[in-house]
Amino acid sequence: MFISAYVDFNEIGDKMGRDLMEAIEKVVVGNFPKLTETITTGLENIAPIFLKQSRELLEILGRFSKLYMTEVSHHILNKQGDTLSNLFGTIVDGINSYVNPVPRTTRREIW
């Protein structure tokens, strides 16, 4: 009894969904020329806004790039580059001093 009711509700729901999609399809297909004109005109109206924003964004990014190249880049390369180089050298020296010189007897024990 309950299985039959579930199947009936499921079937009704499927039919309602199908009918609703057909109704939406009729609305869209019946008004397609008007809908196309409306969307095209709307996009044409807002296109200048996006073009202006795009140009302004490119100008801002160009200014950031110029600022980086003239003001920031040499600080990173000169000051932080030397600091990172010293840190890296210290790490490499530590590895060479404490990790690499493992005695041969220890190597034989591991292998």
Per-residue pLDDT tens for 49-99?
Answer: 999 999 999 999 999 888 888 877 777 777 777 788 888 888 888 888 877
- Please report, in angstroms and rounded to a whole number, the separation of the first and last CA atoms in the chain: 72
Mean pLDDT of 32-41: 92
Given a cut of 60, whether residue 104 has pLDDT beyond it is: no
DSSP classification of residue 25: H
76 vs 83: CA distance, rounded Å: 10
- The b-or-e profile of 8-20 (16+ CB within 10 A means b, else e) is eeeeeeeeeeeee
Q: Are 24 and 16 in contact (CB under 8 A)?
A: no
Give the Cα separation of 76 and 98 in Å (integer).
31
The answer, as to whether pTM is greater than 0.75, is: no
